[in-house]
Amino acid sequence: MQDPCQAREVLGIVGDKWALLIVRVLKDGPLRFTELKRSIDGISQRMLTVTLRDLERDGILTRTVRNVMPPHVSYELTTIGRTLREATAPLLEWSLTHLPKIGEARAAYDNR
């Protein structure tokens, strides 16, 4: 029987805002580093690099290097990554739908 506490590992991925945004952006197919950076507002080059490495290590995405000049590196979701995208898409949609109300609640709280 698996220890339910091991789920923290997966929840760490799901709870990471950059990881979920990368998974979301890669939904339509492979992208290069610069394309990912342009698509994710506010992410630093270092944070993108670290998050991509973590996602690759976890089997969520693959990194492909093509030996051309200059080298062409792209990132693509694995089968597991695509299922993560499917599982988290409702959460991302919920976030976008409720963002205005959350902003209002935060402003009301901060004004107290």
- Residue 45 near residue 107 (C-beta atoms within 8 A): no
Q: The whole model's pTM is what? A: 0.82
Q: How far apart are CA 79 and CA 63, in angstroms?
A: 14
Given this model, what pLDDT does residue 15 score? 76
Mean pLDDT confidence for 71-99: 92
C-alpha distances (whole Å) from 58 to each of 13, 51, 61, 68 are: 9, 11, 8, 27
What percent of the chain clears pLDDT 90, i.e. is strictly above it?
A: 72
Mean pLDDT confidence for 95-102: 92
More confident residue, 13 or 63: 63
Q: Where are the domains of the chain?
A: 4-110
- pLDDT tens string 39-55: 999 999 999 999 999 99
Fold of 4-110: Arc Repressor Mutant, subunit A (1.10.10)
